[in-house]
Amino acid sequence: MPQVGVVGYGTIGKRVADAVAAQPDMSVVGVAKTSPNFEAATARERGYDLYAANGRDAFARAGVPVDGEVEDLVVESDVVVDATPAGVGAAYRDLYEAHGVPAIYQGGEAADTAPVSFVARANYDEAVGADAVRVVSCNTTGLSRLFAVLDEAVGVERARVTLVRRGADPGQTGSGPIDDILPSTRVPSHHGPDVQTVLPHVEVDTMAVKVPATLMHVQTVNCTLASDTDADAIRDALAGESRVLSIPPWLGVDGAGKLKSFAADLGRPRGDLPENCVWAESVTVSDRECYLVQAIHQESIVVPENVDAIRAVTGAASAAESVARTDETLGLGGPLPLAALLAGEAGR
């Protein structure tokens, strides 16, 4: 059973560690972080071995025991998930390679940090046996999942997306905007080219605006389909996906705030929503033009992808087996009353 080391135990790393711990076929060997903050305390509380990055002094001063430093963790690991801030993962690449440990990087790293940019629904097989994989960013994961489904169902000729981006994660007290709306004047924004690192044949243009919110991103999507179809056929294709939640009008979920309340009421850990959340009534098709709106929970959407990436690099399972196992353990899709309710006639 692969022993997984998680280097970087913040927003993404702590969720990935818990998801790995929930799997029957892999385990957490330890987690590494720079500071002895509340997340270090919860790592200890959850029983994860804790490794210090950038020296042990701060941990010693706070009286938080550690089990070693980052290199010690890498030595103990069969696979490393690097969930450090953007750019730090690339700086660790030589260390991972020196120990011959496959690494799963995150979307903050440049695409050339790893030979494969990964979304399980789109290109799992490209990552099988790879030395390194980059799980793409939250917005890119949401778009790649969606376009993988639509492309398979009817073909996507070209897509245009406007991303309404959350300004910060809930814990990022130093980021904003607080009272502003910030357009990205770079066109296309970096997200479109990033989707093409996963789905090179899908033409996608993106523009982005950052708003004062911490809950989720919202993406308005328009794509030209390769063949004629109708909105119900698109809704059916999405309803068959375990990592897409179709939100029917009767739920009364009119925005990201109620989506997060819904997740909390469902008892999801940390109120997470790793699925693409598509408002069913927004799906509109006219003359091969498809329109829809989806929300993406930036803190959790990449978590199941990291678990699948671990199975891919270790060659432990096929795409279908891995996705099914990850979804079952994390409570996504499958024969749940919720999935049946949302996928059925009531989901219209």
Q: Which residues are catalytic?
A: 138
x/- string (CB under 6 A) for ligand NAD, residues 188-207? --------------------
- Nearest-approach distance from CB 98 to ligand NAD, in angstroms: 16
- Nearest-approach distance from CB 171 to ligand NAD, in angstroms: 7
d(CA 225, CA 196): 17
Q: Which candidate, 226, 183, 227, 222, places its Cα nearest to that of 205?
A: 222
Contacts (CB under 6 A) with ligand NAD, residues 68-107: 70, 83-86, 88, 106-107
For 99, phi and psi rounded to 5 degrees?
A: -95, 5
Closest to ligand NAD by CB, 84 vs 229, is: 84
Residue of 53, 277, 295, 296 interacting with ligand NAD (CB under 6 A): 53
Q: Can residue 300 be called a binding residue for ligand NAD (CB under 6 A)?
A: no
In contact, 171 and 181? CB cutoff 8 Å: no
Residue of 18, 19, 26, 34 interacting with ligand NAD (CB under 6 A): 34
Phi-psi label, residue 333: left if phi above 0, alpha if psi -120 to 50, beta otherwise: left
Closest to ligand NAD by CB, 76 vs 299, is: 299
Contacts (CB under 6 A) with ligand NAD, residues 222-281: none
Q: Can residue 144 be called a binding residue for ligand NAD (CB under 6 A)?
A: no
In contact, 296 and 282? CB cutoff 8 Å: no
The residue to which tokens 């997060």 are assigned: 260
Per DSSP bridges, beta strands 276-279 and 244-247 are: parallel
C-beta nearest to ligand NAD: residue: 10
In contact, 163 and 207? CB cutoff 8 Å: yes
Burial of 31 (0-12, 13-18, 19+ CB in 10 A): buried
In contact, 80 and 7? CB cutoff 8 Å: yes
Write the DSSP symbol of residue 333.
Answer: S
Q: Can residue 110 be called a binding residue for ligand NAD (CB under 6 A)?
A: no
The residue to which tokens 């560690």 are assigned: 17
Residue of 77, 113, 117, 137 interacting with ligand NAD (CB under 6 A): 137
Residue of 108, 192, 248, 274 interacting with ligand NAD (CB under 6 A): 108
- Nearest-approach distance from CB 314 to ligand NAD, in angstroms: 21
The residue to which tokens 């328009």 are assigned: 222
Q: Can residue 35 be called a binding residue for ligand NAD (CB under 6 A)?
A: yes
> Tokens at residue 192, please?
């479109």
Closest to ligand NAD by CB, 274 vs 347, is: 274
Query: Residue 192: how many CA atoms within 13 Å on its side-chain side?
Result: 20
Residue of 6, 17, 28, 32 interacting with ligand NAD (CB under 6 A): 32
- Nearest-approach distance from CB 194 to ligand NAD, in angstroms: 11
Interaction site with ligand NAD (CB under 6 A): 7-13, 32-35, 39, 53-54, 70, 83-86, 88, 106-109, 137-138, 169, 298-299, 302
